[in-house]
Structure 1
Amino acid sequence: MDTKRILWAVLWVFTAGLMAVCGGIAGGWWATQYAVATVGASNPDQVTSTTTTNKEIIHVETTEIETAITDAVAKVSPAVVTVVGVIPGQMTFFGPAPDEQVSGSGVIISEKGYIITNNHVVEGTKSLKVIFADGSEREAHIVGTDPFADLAVLKVSGKVPAVAVLGNSDVLKPGETVIAIGSPLGAFRNTVTVGVVSATGRAIDTGRGYVMEDLIQTDAAINHGNSGGPLVNLAGEVVGINTLIVRNGGNGDVAEGLGFAIPSNTVRAVAEQIIRQGYVARPYLGIEWQGITPAIAARYHLPVQWGVYVVRVAPDSPAAKAGIRRGDIIFQIGETKLDEKHPFINALFDHKPGETVPLKVIRDGKTITVEVTLGERKIH
């Protein structure tokens, strides 16, 4: 081939490639503008679409998993609600601030009108309502809450549109498909996202002196407003209640796809107590305490890295009856030695009211064992 032919061939290939790139950019720009215009249309009913008749229509067969997902959503979605609450405005220098509206999600678990959601969704509210999947609204009231488990039970009067079934979270396996349903940002009612069980048995430090344990980790998209909504398996059973997302690591790294849900077996146990007696029974020791960490231990030359320092013992409490004193350091409850992964509250709540539990205590530089019979604390 002579030089002119080679030159023309190269020029032709370059020109064709340039046209393809420009076409892709223009097509992408047009698609973006169309999507924005459609989503932002003031009257969606007037948006129309046309189909080009001279192009082949591609038919995609629905897979078994897609069918299972849509069937599960159809089964559970009518039982999912948006929870809307009003928090009284705080008093300021200039007078009371306006009331604040908060929102989350919930799921109906009983034909009697009981709804499960997160405690942090309803905490501090003076009034509540739920919005059903069909858009109808109804007033709701709080039956009881468990801040430790971040769960709350609400109740509405009258007939409910549907009831979700609580499944067995103990059989969940990593990699299993799960579906999150809820109202992200309080506006997009009954939004469906799909992901997998990333892991089970996760623990998250709440920053309130205890760790939320045995959580389900999922990469199904969970956003603000999804809290309290169900995590569903392909059988259409609720296997978890979505509770939190982690956006940033401790070192400032940004994370995506880190959502966590409370296992349905925990939800069932808590909900049954609240519905039956209006509260959750937790073990009660009767002390005020200061947590001990390695930093505090080093600063004050304490004999243990982890534990609690007893600041005060409540009169006539289980601790007082057992002989616990101010200044004692408790570093083990039963068989659980306190550390970063096993805080005091978690170790205590592993036991039941009425149970006699040995405490490992350091007093005057000596280690002693104190037997204490735990009381009952009613968590409302």
Structure 2
Amino acid sequence: MQGRTSGAVLVALVIAVAAGAVGGVAGGVTVLLLDDDASTAPPDATATPVDTATEEPATPAPATALDAAIHRTLEAVVTVVADTPASRDASGRMSQQRSLGSGVVIDRAGYVITNFHVVSGASELSVVLSTGEERPARLIAHDAPYTDFAVLAIPNQGLRSLRLGDSDALRLGQPVVAVAGAGFTSGNSVKVGVVSGLDQSWVRNAVVLESLVQTDAAVNIGDSGGALINAEGELVGLLTTVVRETPTGLAVEGVSFSQSSNSLRPIIENIIALGVHPRPRLGIEYPFAHHIEVTPEMAAAEGLTHEAGALVTAVDPGSSAAAAGIQPGDHIVAVNEMPVDLATPFVNRLKALEPGQVAELTVLREGRQLVIPVTPRLE
């Protein structure tokens, strides 16, 4: 795959908008790959001669430190290509779904960081460097569902990398630059903005994302996993989410969130050194796959006696939750006597556990309230 180019025709472009009108700012750029032998030619154009004999050549503006920082960042930002297995559509033709996002080379040894939703479900991964060269990639580890973060590895010849900056040093109004991969454009993109919020949180996919940097940079589809840099060219955030409307449905512009560099630093270090960032694993922690967050509307529709919590839908065989006797249909309303609700979902309660700490789950089951201790596995 190294050095390959793709002649596939992009015949469909679908921009996915996540539930709640908030989604990752990439992973939703999806193309359908069909024939490789179609080609296009530029339209004919007749140039109109322009007399420039008396014009003085323009003098380029002097390069600034920010110009240099952006140039270095462009060389370290990649496009992440995630392919799903080929399948046959309703017409009988074979097709393959391809999602595009961004990533950042964080180490010249070949480590690339991105958002987990960019690579989730992919059967094959690759990255396209700023030079246009495509290299194979493999997923080393991810931190889902606790954060939307993943680390990839690629062949390391001739890579440029970014240095992690101190996101705690950011100040409101400070200029920042969002640099992303190709996405739906023909090359890497640059957007300038300011820090408009610090230590922010936002709910996405039944998890409260924390320690976010809010900016007004014009982040778009395909930018997720890109770099947010300061004026020194240091990585202070990983582009993660763009907000299109409020929970009440009001339109929003100029609001995007990045995972802060300081929140990602220990995860990066552990994954590179150990191959994993240890988190409590019960076998019921993934929203939608293992449980559903209960809302008042859902409680009324399903006849539940409690208007919040997490309703278990599946339990991994052999997991600590299975060993403790947790069952599908159990309604978890508290962890260690701390309530589970939309403000602090089940995943966030688990995230707060200390290593080795037992999770005492308060469970409603068939009209009874039970307290079931579960010892999470750290993996």
Are 1:160 and 2:151 counterparts?
A: no
Secondary structure in 1 matching 2:279: strand
* Native 8 Å contact 1:184 1:224 kept in 2: no
* Native 8 Å contact 1:239 1:264 kept in 2: yes
- Correspondences of 1:1-380 after superposition (within 5 Å): 50=52, 67-148=64-145, 149-207=147-205, 209-287=206-284, 289-299=291-301, 302-310=304-312, 317-319=319-321, 329-334=331-336, 336-362=338-364, 369-376=371-378, 378=379
> In 2, Cα distance between the equivalents of 1:151 and 1:251?
28
> In 2, Cα distance between the equivalents of 1:289 and 1:86?
27
* Native 8 Å contact 1:308 1:331 kept in 2: yes
Report which stretch shifted further, 130-139 or 190-199.
Answer: 130-139
Name the aligned partner's letter for residue 106 of structure 1.
Answer: G
> In 1, Cα distance between the equivalents of 2:193 and 2:316?
48
Secondary structure in 2 matching 1:340: coil
Name the aligned partner's letter for residue 343 of structure 2.
Answer: K
> In 1, Cα distance between the equivalents of 2:195 and 2:81?
28
* Native 8 Å contact 1:178 1:195 kept in 2: yes
Secondary structure in 2 matching 1:142: strand
Count of aligned residue pairs for this structure pair: 330
Name the aligned partner's letter for residue 129 of structure 1.
Answer: S
Report the Cα offset of residue 195 of structure 1.
Answer: 0.3
TM-score, normalised with respect to structure 1:
0.73
Q: Which of 1 and 2 has greater Rg?
A: 1
Name the aligned partner's letter for residue 308 of structure 2.
Answer: W
1:180-202 CA distances to partner (integer Å, 9 max, x unpaired)? 11135343423211101111233
Report the Cα offset of residue 159 of structure 1.
Answer: 2.0
Name the aligned partner's letter for residue 220 of structure 1.
Answer: A
TM-score, normalised with respect to structure 2:
0.73
Report the Cα offset of residue 326 of structure 1.
Answer: 6.8
* Native 8 Å contact 1:80 1:105 kept in 2: yes
Distance change (3 Å), C-alpha of 1:135 and 1:319: closer
Residue equivalent to 1:8:
none
Secondary structure in 2 matching 1:270: helix
Report which stretch shifted further, 145-154 or 175-184.
Answer: 145-154
Residue equivalent to 1:23:
none
1:21-53 CA distances to partner (integer Å, 9 max, x unpaired)? xxxxxxxxxxxxxxxxxxx9989x999894975
> In 2, Cα distance between the equivalents of 1:131 and 1:313?
38
Bigger relative contact order, structure 1 or 2 (CA pairs below 8 A, ≥6 apart): 2
Residue equivalent to 1:32:
none
* Native 8 Å contact 1:113 1:160 kept in 2: no
Secondary structure in 1 matching 2:177: strand
Identity %: 37
Structure 2 gap segments, 5+ residues each:
1-41, 285-289
Report the Cα offset of residue 294 of structure 1.
Answer: 1.7
Name the aligned partner's letter for residue 375 of structure 1.
Answer: R
* Native 8 Å contact 1:104 1:186 kept in 2: no
> In 2, Cα distance between the equivalents of 1:311 and 1:188?
42
Distance change (3 Å), C-alpha of 1:99 and 1:296: closer
RMSD of the TM alignment (CA)? 3.6
Structure 1 gap segments, 5+ residues each:
1-39
> In 2, Cα distance between the equivalents of 1:42 and 1:267?
50
> In 2, Cα distance between the equivalents of 1:122 and 1:48?
49
* Native 8 Å contact 2:176 2:231 kept in 1: yes
Query: Which has the larger helix fraction?
Result: 1
Secondary structure in 2 matching 1:166: coil
* Native 8 Å contact 1:204 1:211 kept in 2: yes
Report which stretch shifted further, 92-101 or 227-236.
Answer: 92-101
